[in-house]
Amino acid sequence: MIRANVIKWTAIASLVVFLFTGSLTMTGDKALAADCSNGYVALTYDDGPNPNNTVTLLNALQQNGLRATFFNLGQNAQNNPSLVNQQKAAGMWIGNHSWSHPHLTQLTTSQMSSEVTNTQTTLQSITGTAPKLFRPPYGETNATLKSIEAQNGLTEVLWNVDSQDWNGASTAQIVNAVGTMQNGDVILMHDQYQTTVQAIPQIAQNLKNRGLCSGMISTSTGRVVAPDSGGTTPTPTPTPSSTPSPGTSTKIEAENMTKGGQYTANISSPFSGVALYANNDLVKYTQNFSSGTHNFSLRGASNNSTMARVDLKIGGVTKGTFYFGGSSPAVYTLNNVSHGTGNQEIQLVVTADNGTWDAYLDYLEIQ
């Protein structure tokens, strides 16, 4: 009993000290904290990157000290990889918005999956990081899509304020929509319209007047939070999408590549990966190379004691074969493979199947 009382009073005394210290700290940091005293909102721009708009949009955001999340389309990213890297270099966050902007819930599961995973693979090969946020086109979602998102490590992000920029809203109407935002709100805009770009200086002023800041969307909760780099904008140095460069390595999980062939499927044992069951089953993705020679290491296994064979094709040309002599996962390396530079399609494909083995693929590493 005595002991309990001591603890109780110690706890209360600590709490008093904590509260007092807390208020002192807040006073001391007031100048720094004042701008965001009413919290954070998320600005989001969908459907890019767009060669007619993205650079202007990024410049406007940076000039006004704003950061935003860009939900890119995979096909636009593939066609404009440097714009994706400029988004990243400008301190923006990058999310997945499907490959071609279909009504996803009207597609088959496998089509739905391709829309999501192809975009993951492409954005990862451009930026080096797979997105963690996904916004379904038209905000249309269902249980199947949510499960595909989960398989890809994606958190679904919708919005609760619609700028209506897609519906012909004027710059003033877009600014008014931002004017309704409160702490934690997410606004839908697009990387496409002049009205949207022209709204940015007034958006910045509006938020500032109301003690709100542009925040990031938490990849774990999908909620708006303070930017994790303390709100500072990284130096805007556009980086070319040239990976891997000498001395570095790029590792791509087989399950994040695009599946092709008749039977190719994900597996969870002996590792998270992909199984190729028959001739022409494959996984593929696009890699940007700045130089023309690399070592390619594939971790994989056979499904039994029979040797499995998987060919490496780059730009449509067979460059070698990976051999897996048994069911224990192993890394097989093809050294000094010459190939084209720039964007090259990499395929891991079965061509020597004789019905006695299946190939399990874990990851490809390029050095």
CB of 321 to Zn ion, least distance (A): 42
Residue 331's H or E segment, with its range, is strand 330-338
Query: What is the sign of the dihedral through the CA atoms of 271, 356, 110 and 344?
Result: positive
How many residues lie near Zn ion (CB under 5 A)? 3
Taking the least distance from each CB to Zn ion, the nearer of 91 and 136 is 136
What are the structure tokens assigned to 217, written together? Answer: 């969307």
Joined tokens for residue 116 = 């999501």
Q: How far is the CB of 61 from Zn ion (least distance, A)?
A: 19
Tell whether residue 46 is a contact of Zn ion (CB under 5 A).
Answer: yes
Nearer to Zn ion, 120 or 297 (CB): 120
* Neighbour order of strands in the sheet with 258-260: 258-260, 282-289, 342-349, 308-314, 317-324
Please, are residues 86 and 111 in contact by the beta-carbon 8 Å criterion? no
Site for Zn ion in 122-141 (CB under 5 A): 137
* Shortest reach from residue 156's CB to Zn ion, in Å: 14
Whether 46 sits among the annotated catalytic residues: the reply is yes
Determine the Cα–Cα distance for residues 110 and 103; give it in Å rounded to an integer.
14
- Answer yes or no whether residue 47 interacts with Zn ion by CB under 5 A: yes
Residue 115 binds Zn ion, judged by CB under 5 A: no
User: CA-CA distance, 138 to 145, in Å (whole number)?
Assistant: 13
Active site residue 185: no
* Smallest gap from residue 276 Cβ to Zn ion (A): 34
Q: Which is nearer to Zn ion, 52 or 229 (CB)?
A: 52
Buried b (16+ CB within 10 A) or exposed e, 307-324: ebbbbbbbbeeebbebeb
State the Cα–Cα distance between residues 274 and 259, nearest whole angstrom: 9
Q: Is 281 in the site for Zn ion (CB under 5 A)?
A: no
DSSP-derived pairing of the beta strands 250-253 and 258-260: unpaired
Q: Which residue, 47 or 149, is less far from Zn ion as judged by CB?
A: 47
Provide, rounded to whole angstroms, the least separation between the CB of residue 134 and Zn ion. 12
Cα 247 to the center of its chain, rounded Å? 24
Cβ 75 vs Cβ 100: under 8 Å = yes
* Residue 91 or 137 with smaller CB distance to Zn ion: 137
Any idea of the CA torsion for 352, 357, 358, 363, to the nearest 10 degrees? Answer: -80
In the complex, minimum distance from the CB of residue 215 to Zn ion, in angstroms, rounded to a whole number = 21
CA distance 349 to 71: 31
Binding to Zn ion in span 136-175, by CB under 5 A: 137
- CA-closest candidate to residue 91, choices 226, 240, 242, 227: 227
Residue 319 CB, nearest distance to Zn ion (Å)?
A: 38
Catalytic residue among 97, 185, 190, 358: 190
Q: Which amino acid is at 306?
A: T
Q: How far apart are CA 282 and CA 353, in angstroms?
A: 12
Within 10 angstroms of residue 359's Cβ, the number of other Cβ atoms is: 27
Give residue 38's Cα distance to chain centre.
Answer: 28
Indicate which residues carry an active-site annotation.
46, 190
Contact residues: Zn ion, CB under 5 A: 46-47, 137
